[in-house]
């Protein structure tokens, strides 16, 4: 299977210390890749991880139990919530 050709339409620049550049160059060399390819791939992976982590809700065990309890045995609706539900049902009927 032939790899898809990547169309590059944007430019990305960064200023780094000589030490960082040396480490990045060495890592790219070890993988047989260009510095640009290595950096773009690493940045994409880091971006995906950051987005995924932002979408995950982490709860302590105690909070997990409280959340499950609230779902299984919800508090009764307040009068204002009952009115809001009725209004929603009227508007979406």
Q: Which residues span the domain enclosing 41?
A: 18-92
Tell me, yes or no, whether 70 lies in a domain: yes
How many structural domains does the chain have? 1
Q: Is residue 54 part of a domain?
A: yes
* pLDDT at residue 5, as a whole number: 64
**Residue 22 contacts by C-beta under 8 Å, 6 or more apart in sequence?**
none
The answer as to whether 32 is a domain residue is yes
For the chain, which ranges sit under pLDDT 70? 1-6
* 42 closest CA partner among 67, 70, 20, 61: 20
Q: Is residue 3 part of a domain?
A: no
User: Three-state DSSP class for 16?
Assistant: coil
**Domain for residue 36, yes or no?**
yes
The per-residue pLDDT for 93 is 84
* pLDDT for the residue 7: 79
- Tell me if residue 4 falls in helix, strand or coil: coil
81 occurs within a structural domain: yes
Does residue 72 sit within a domain? yes
Confirm whether 6 is domain-assigned.
no
What is the pLDDT, as a whole number, of residue 4?
61
């Amino acid at each position: 299977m032939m790899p898809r050709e990547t169309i590059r339409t944007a430019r990305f620049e960064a200023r780094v210390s000589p030490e960082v550049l040396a480490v990045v160059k060495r890592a790219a060399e070890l993988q047989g890749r260009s510095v640009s390819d290595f950096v773009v791939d690493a940045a994409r992976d880091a971006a995906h991880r950051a987005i995924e982590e932002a979408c995950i809700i982490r709860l302590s065990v105690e909070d997990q139990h409280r959340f499950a309890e609230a779902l299984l045995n919800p508090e009764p609706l307040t009068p204002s919530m009952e009115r809001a539900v009725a209004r929603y049902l009227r508007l979406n009927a």
